[in-house]
A = this chain, B = another copy of it.
């Protein structure tokens, strides 16, 4: 711990010696400091960046909590494979490896499709009547998601982002948020992919019934995950835990990814040391989770697409933070005068 404090001082000193007014790079300085501390070095780097998109379906999606039908999850996975989705465009632009995981999509994919086949079940159970996920399924999801992260770590990846695709999954995220953040359910429920006011009211009514049915009074993240799912969310949560264990930089996307982080955070608050919050979603609950965690995101562009798109768009900014720390000249290097003693 003493060494970490020393490194922190050295990093701050290195940042302050760069040819710029003190603090003039704002949040970039905080990001550079954070990554230096994670990697325990004055000269951090980002290697083999990866975004993993977990896809899964939700039985409840059929009941009116989403503006889109469940088939869209399956169709969007095919769109990812063909390169036509937002996340494809942004990862390609920014040289980020994209990996798609079938965590629990209702449809069957051909075996030779270039995705990771980790289907736990064809969609979660309907949490209006039973737990969404069984304990055995959770354990399988844990094992598979840990393997995925471990494999990227072996290839040298030291920064990883997580995204999701799952019609109906803002409903799960709202339930997780409500139970872990002590925030009234109405403040956790939003438009998702595009419900109107009446649709949001109906979604809230359903989720209130679900809350009453499960009656979870503890803050045990496992209980909450099993009750409300989905497979893509629990795989994200476990993947984040593994990425923390392997000391990677973890890029956090929007509302659903942050609800997955809440599950991991409830077990180990220290995970925040490794997390970079990439964007604030337009989905109404997201800002409140960020406030709960006491963090600020890099981008705020009124986006609400998911798929990890916020992490892909923020990645160049994270790279810029590392680059200025490594590449900018110091006052001494450049022969630039420092502040006047006024």
Contacts from A to B (Cβ < 8 Å): 18-28, 64, 66-69, 71-72, 75-76, 78-79, 82, 84-86, 88-90, 92-94, 193-195, 199, 282, 298-305, 309, 313, 316-317, 319-320, 323-324, 327-329, 333-340, 342
A and B contact pairs by CB, cutoff 8 A, 16 listed: A21-B67, A21-B193, A21-B305, A23-B194, A24-B282, A24-B304, A28-B313, A67-B340, A72-B337, A79-B336, A84-B329, A84-B333, A85-B334, A195-B342, A299-B299, A299-B317
> Which residues on B sit within 8 Å (CB–CB) of A67?
21, 339-340, 342
Contacts A24-B304, A84-B333, A304-B24 known; A317 to B323 CB distance under 8 Å?
A: no
Question: Is A68's CB under 8 angstroms from B21's CB?
Answer: yes
> Which residues on B sit within 8 Å (CB–CB) of A319?
93
Question: Is A327's CB under 8 angstroms from B193's CB?
Answer: no
Question: A22 CB to closest chain B CB, in angstroms?
Answer: 6
Question: Is B24's CB under 8 angstroms from A303's CB?
Answer: yes
Q: Count the copies.
A: 2
> Which residues on B sit within 8 Å (CB–CB) of A317?
299, 301, 313
> Which residues on B sit within 8 Å (CB–CB) of A72?
336-337
Question: Is B86's CB under 8 angstroms from A20's CB?
Answer: yes
Question: Is B68's CB under 8 angstroms from A340's CB?
Answer: yes
> Which residues on B sit within 8 Å (CB–CB) of A338?
68
A-B contact sample (12 more), CB < 8 A, given A18-B86, A82-B334, A84-B329: A25-B309, A72-B336, A75-B334, A75-B337, A76-B334, A85-B328, A89-B323, A89-B328, A90-B324, A93-B323, A195-B342, A299-B299
Question: Is A79's CB under 8 angstroms from B342's CB?
Answer: no
Look across to chain B and name the residue whose beta carbon is closest to the beta carbon of A79.
B334
> Which residues on B sit within 8 Å (CB–CB) of A328?
84-86, 88-89
Question: A305 CB to closest chain B CB, in angstroms?
Answer: 4
Look across to chain B and name the residue whose beta carbon is closest to the beta carbon of A192.
B21
Closest 10 CB pairs of A and B: A84-B329, A26-B302, A21-B193, A24-B305, A27-B301, A26-B303, A316-B316, A75-B336, A79-B334, A26-B301
Look across to chain B and name the residue whose beta carbon is closest to the beta carbon of A330.
B84
> Which residues on B sit within 8 Å (CB–CB) of A90?
320, 323-324
Question: Is B316's CB under 8 angstroms from A79's CB?
Answer: no
Question: Is A304's CB under 8 angstroms from B84's CB?
Answer: no
> Which residues on B sit within 8 Å (CB–CB) of A313?
28, 316-317, 320
> Which residues on B sit within 8 Å (CB–CB) of A327?
84, 88-89, 92
Query: How far is A57 from B297 in the complex, measured between Cα atoms in Å?
Result: 36
Contacts A67-B21, A320-B90 known; A304 to B26 CB distance under 8 Å?
A: yes
Query: How far is A261 from B141 in the complex, measured between Cα atoms in Å?
Result: 54
Query: How far is A22 from B72 in the complex, measured between Cα atoms in Å?
Result: 14
Look across to chain B and name the residue whose beta carbon is closest to the beta carbon of A26.
B302
Question: Is A339's CB under 8 angstroms from B19's CB?
Answer: no
Query: How far is A298 from B27 in the complex, measured between Cα atoms in Å?
Result: 14
Look across to chain B and name the residue whose beta carbon is closest to the beta carbon of A341.
B67
> Which residues on B sit within 8 Å (CB–CB) of A82?
329, 334
